Structure 1
């Protein structure tokens, strides 16, 4: 009985030591400093222009030498065009969005900028949660009426950056493309939600070009154009567990618009679901000579419901009347496609 009692004591002591060992330290030095946009003058009323407050919070976060959080709390924050620029003094900035960031109602306020929110030359940034509301309906209506309209802006652009994560972010009603990844390396988009009406023009969900090691996983995309579009210069890309619809499907291209052009290679698209889309998997190339290419492309394990063109390879792509003449000419297409399709 004494031995049993001693054993219990020893086990209790070992457990206590283990708990003390793995319990996280609670000193203030281990907590990330927070730069709350409200502290710098942002107003969560959806009416007050909070652009300067956001940029000030970013400048402080970017200038810190330790891991930091840029916090957008609950509420609705109105902002104009913003560019969050690096390089920063630290390589771990966590942009935590709890509320909704809204664009101005006036469609002319984007000026000449093609981007509403842009992260440029950053390294080690995570953008998590929240909603970006582009309020694109007014611009779509302007274009539909045939009036003189601004070009519109991409909601979220990540350019010339690396080691970026976009997680559980929702993009609504973008003017143009919802998200663009351009000249980047190692970007992961996970749990992203994108929503725009099926008749909204040029509202591609996620566009990737001139980038390597980009992954889009566990996301839902409903839009008026391509759910995911993959442009020249893209390599080593993964699209996994993405639901698309409405929209034009997942597209590679258009390719070959220029004579000298980087190709697309090593792209895997798997475990996707398409509902009510124009296309499923599409590769599109202009009907003229080019050294562009699509190589080592794998499409597998797709589920499609009410899809007009499940698989579509178009080497005479012509999006408008201006290119009709060159497509009619019987020029040699120099693209080489090596594609494997696998349905489950």
Structure 2
């Protein structure tokens, strides 16, 4: 009997090995060094990358574009998928792609590495270095500078995977997912100084079925930005900091704007960030909405605004619309959120006066300020003051904390 089982396992192993190597044999593989790329970080390798892409697209078999260890200089490159026959292309990066050191080369191109209308593309491993330092210095000096390029962008694409990818020194957004369906971002690492401007870690909009997991993001703007038209977004196990937290919006700049719905953010840690979880909308007419949002199992470590809804968003109070936000916010749940606030106002709800927030639930929210007190600040109507707020207050009093609930312009709505 033992001999029979041993033979069975051996035969199983043989079959797995056979099919594994058979699949490798039929796959098309394109090593960019074989196409003329040099790993010195100085020789322009853009043609080699585009040549590899053209060949991979023409293949009727799954294809791999391989980037060996080393540094590869890459200019602005667009990988177009409309005429691509292949729906299984893997870009395996074991090296580092570097942008030109002169920021003017890609600074006005919009994107450094752009994928447009592709299906079944996976980007595995590697580091993208956009070499932004000189551009940031230019902007800080007040000179006329390019707007900067997004490091990696996917537009109107389906079934996308990004796994084990690192982005450093981005000129603008690090990773953009726009108009995509079914995208998975796993083990992403973003590293940028806390004062880097307009430098979102992962920027998602007009997309559905996006998953972001097991990632570490430090930047000068939102760790994750959730824009108009985003639905069925799952964010889990994220370390955020420095940065502006995980933000829905800003929304409501346009009158006709798609809403945000079915978003889950769970098991995330925010360290020294400007915000934890935030919803922000402009104070102007809009038919946009935010609904069915869950923030759960979150840890705040010295965060300035751990929980915030801001429907009078206007950065730097410059050219503020000073109207009333039309964006309707409803069905937002905050559950199991613990940690410390860097300011006295740990929870702030500044909802629209004309279109009040509704069905806002807080449960098991325990935030401290200097180990002593928490302030919950309700500036504008919530539709009806949730019973959960009084439950939180009672819980905090039992723990000998001092709680201040500041309510301005509150009135019940039916």
Q: TM-score, normalised by structure 1?
A: 0.93
The partner residue of 1:337 within 330, 337, 346 is 330
Asked which structure has the greater RCO (Cα within 8 Å, sep 6+), the reply is: 1
* Structure 1 runs of 4+ with >6 Å offset: none
* Displacement after TM superposition at 1:342 (Å): 0.9
The corresponding residue for 1:3 is none
Judge conservation of contact 1:166–1:188 (CA < 8 Å) in 2: yes
The corresponding residue for 1:54 is 49
Q: How does 1:109-188 map to 2 (within 5 A)?
A: 109-110=105-106, 112-188=108-184
The partner residue of 2:38 within 43, 53, 69 is 43
CA deviation digits over 1:217-237, x for unaligned, max 9? 000000000000000000000
CA deviation digits over 1:13-37, x for unaligned, max 9? 4444444344334448744221111
Distance 1:13 1:69, change over 3 A: closer
Unaligned runs of 5+ in 2: 338-414
* Displacement after TM superposition at 1:258 (Å): 0.7
Whole-angstrom CA distance in 2 between matches of 1:15 and 1:247: 51
The corresponding residue for 1:223 is 219
Whole-angstrom CA distance in 2 between matches of 1:84 and 1:18: 40
Whole-angstrom CA distance in 2 between matches of 1:308 and 1:262: 30
Whole-angstrom CA distance in 2 between matches of 1:10 and 1:128: 40
Whole-angstrom CA distance in 2 between matches of 1:16 and 1:115: 50
The corresponding residue for 1:313 is 309
CA deviation digits over 1:299-324, x for unaligned, max 9? 01001101000001100011245422
Whole-angstrom CA distance in 2 between matches of 1:170 and 1:260: 36
The corresponding residue for 1:233 is 229
CA deviation digits over 1:100-144, x for unaligned, max 9? 000111010015311000111100011000000011111111001
Give the superposed CA RMSD.
1.6
Judge conservation of contact 1:40–1:53 (CA < 8 Å) in 2: yes
Unaligned runs of 5+ in 1: 1-6
SS of corresponding position for 1:225: coil
Whole-angstrom CA distance in 2 between matches of 1:173 and 1:194: 9
Q: Does residue 1:34 correspond to 2:26, yes or no? A: no
SS of corresponding position for 1:248: coil
Count of residue correspondences = 335
Judge conservation of contact 1:269–1:300 (CA < 8 Å) in 2: yes
Q: TM-score, normalised by structure 2?
A: 0.78
Whole-angstrom CA distance in 1 between matches of 2:67 and 2:218: 25
